[in-house]
Chain A
Amino acid sequence: MVVEVKMFGALRQFSENGVIVLELPDQSTVQQARDCLKDFLSSRFPGAAQIGLIDKSALANDRRVLKNEEVIGLQRNLALLPPVCGG
């Protein structure tokens, strides 16, 4: 399945137009999507320190932050959210 992941903050620079398109196996979990993103970016930007932020980032849909063990299911649009610092 194909999932589009919006990128934000310090991770946005690694995407084109703020989106990365992932090809994931059906029934992938959030953790698997995170691992896939990390592999994808590590291969294209070897040594980029900010890629380590992926481990500290949350995956979310439009309504909530997702748990690592959740199956992505039919969701095709996700967002990768680095640690937040509003205010």
Chain B
Amino acid sequence: MPMSDILHVSEHPIDLNAVHAALSDPRFGAQLVFAGIVRNVNDGRPVEAVSYESFVVLAEQTFSDLAREVREQVGGPLKVVLIHRTGRLSVGEISTIVGVAAPHRAECYSASRYLLEQLKVRVPVWKEEHYANGDGSWLAGTELVP
């Protein structure tokens, strides 16, 4: 893993300044940061919070795999930040960061999209929504493929 990458699962709030600092590089004219944020409704049900759980060691290994794959696809210099929160998050909190930086925007957009879509189907993370009426529900997801 290049020293500049940040690839981790954390129970702590995400520091966007640290994300931008990690992506900064005088060679790079493009920086793209996607933030996944807990929203207040899902399938018509008011949501108060979401609890995230992860198999951290494999999630971080998968982050590393994804960074390597996307770097091979881009074929040029690229910085990658992948962070996923765990624990109970309130509406409006950042759950996920997919950050990339590269010399030009085209690599950034393609890399960001690839990382985000792969994260959602390959990284072992689960979420339980907590509703306004006190109920909770684990959300359905995508089966992992060996």
* In contact, B144 and A83 (Cβ under 8 angstroms): yes
Question: How close is B9's CB to chain A, nearest CB, in angstroms?
Answer: 9
Residues of B within 8 A of A8 (CB): 53-55, 124, 126
Count, chain A residues at interface, CB 8 A: 24
* In contact, A87 and B144 (Cβ under 8 angstroms): no
Asked if B17 CB lies within 8 Å of chain A CBs, one says no
Return the contact of B119 from the options A65, A83, A87 (Cβ within 8 A). A87
Asked if B18 CB lies within 8 Å of chain A CBs, one says no
**12 other contacts beyond A12-B53, A63-B58, A82-B126, with CB at 8 A cut-off?**
A8-B124, A9-B128, A58-B144, A58-B146, A62-B57, A79-B58, A83-B140, A83-B141, A84-B124, A86-B120, A86-B126, A87-B116
Give residues in B with beta carbon < 8 Å to A.
36, 52-55, 57-59, 61, 84, 95-96, 116, 119-128, 138-146
